[in-house]
A and B are shown apart, each in its own frame.
Chain A
Amino acid sequence: MTPPNERKLLTPEEYRAAQDSPEFTELRRRFRSFAVPMTVAFLVWYALFVLLSTYAGDFMSTQVFGNVNLGILLGLGQFVSTFLITQLYVRHASKNTDPISDEMRTRLEAHEFAAPRNEETPRG
């Protein structure tokens, strides 16, 4: 909830126009195409780890080297994958979504989405 003086800046029509614009569709696609599959992936990997630890104790106790077993290694693997996904997301966002969202924000501030629709600068 924005205070009234700030909300006057953009009308519902402008938001609708911005939402329907091709660049916003592209922005949403790029955001979701990373966030959704990655969320599914890390949740599946986490669930697999939890289920293996719960129901496959013998398998997780397999010694790999010295006293280090598979359970410890897969557990550390959860840390590694978390750090890795974090950095991949940062790279994806700064390369693929930030440029569109920065550009759209500037144009929204300039009321370029106010009717009549401004069609001259579509960008993907």
Chain B
Amino acid sequence: MDPRFVDLLTPFLKFLGDQEITPETSLREHGLDSMQAIELLFAIEDTFAVVLPDEDMNDATFATAGSLWNVISAASDTDLTVPDADLTASDADLTASEADRTANLR
């Protein structure tokens, strides 16, 4: 798990005491309640620049630090692919318009 994730999670787990956060750490048992889930979500989205899918907003995602991190990782992977694809697409557009320009010049 990313150390930034552990840092942002810590203040939400007021019953953590001196324990370290591991993937098995239960979020509910250590103080995360459903009313705080949205604040945690905002913190995740700001830190990792991702949007977690609505489908993953269930109890299984918010069960443990590891289950939540898995969803963040999956969303990060998805978000990285999309801009690449867009970039390729605009490169292609650029090439096409250059070709058009060249064609016009002739």
A, B co-complexed: no
Interface residues of A (CB under 8 A from B): none
